[in-house]
Amino acid sequence: MSSKKHTRSAEGEAQFAYQGLDRLIHEHARLSVLTALITNNPGLSFNELKKMCQLTDGNLSRHLAILDEAGLITIFKGIEGNRSLTLCRITSEGRKRYTEYLAVLERVVTDAAGAIRVDTQRKETDKTLRS
């Protein structure tokens, strides 16, 4: 018995059951990348992100491209010494969307805690009625 996890919008894009969760950010690897970048204001190199987020080169590259295309991060490519260097930074739009995403997660936690309280009260009421 599985519950319906998402529905399709008029545009055909899958929607989360909880209104307001940003699908772009909610994906685990991208959330990890944004969290690493928001807590490291000067930015992080590709290799630092790869290590922190425990992603492969290809996987990280793909997620960075998606975040860059959405305007949530900027990617700077250059040379340091004799080696190429890729530096990633979160944009002001990325900070805004990340903060909005966290606000929705806070509502999810609040709603879940409320549901647990209601369930606990219901169980107590049921127990009292059976006595």
Q: What CATH number is given to the structural domain containing 88?
A: 1.10.10.10
Sorted by sequence, the CB contacts under 8 Å of residue 14 that are 6+ apart come out as: 6, 7, 8, 23
CB-CB contact of 24 with 66 (8 Å)? yes
Residue 89 lies in a domain: yes
Residue 122 lies in a domain: yes
Which structural domain, as residue segments, surrounds residue 16? 6-130
CB-CB contact of 129 with 123 (8 Å)? no
Q: Report the chain (131 residues): mean pLDDT per 10 consecutive residues.
A: 41 58 91 97 96 97 98 95 94 96 91 77 68 68
Residue 1 lies in a domain: no
Closest to 89 (Cα-Cα) out of 38, 32, 29: 38
Q: What pLDDT is stored for residue 129 in this prediction? A: 67
Q: What pLDDT is stored for residue 96 in this prediction? A: 97
> In the β-sheet with 83-90, what is the strand arrangement from edge to edge?
44-45, 83-90, 73-80
Q: What is the pTM of this model?
A: 0.74
Q: What pLDDT is stored for residue 7 in this prediction? A: 43
Specify the number of domains making up the chain: 1
Q: If you ran DSSP here, which 8-state letter would residue 19 be given? A: T
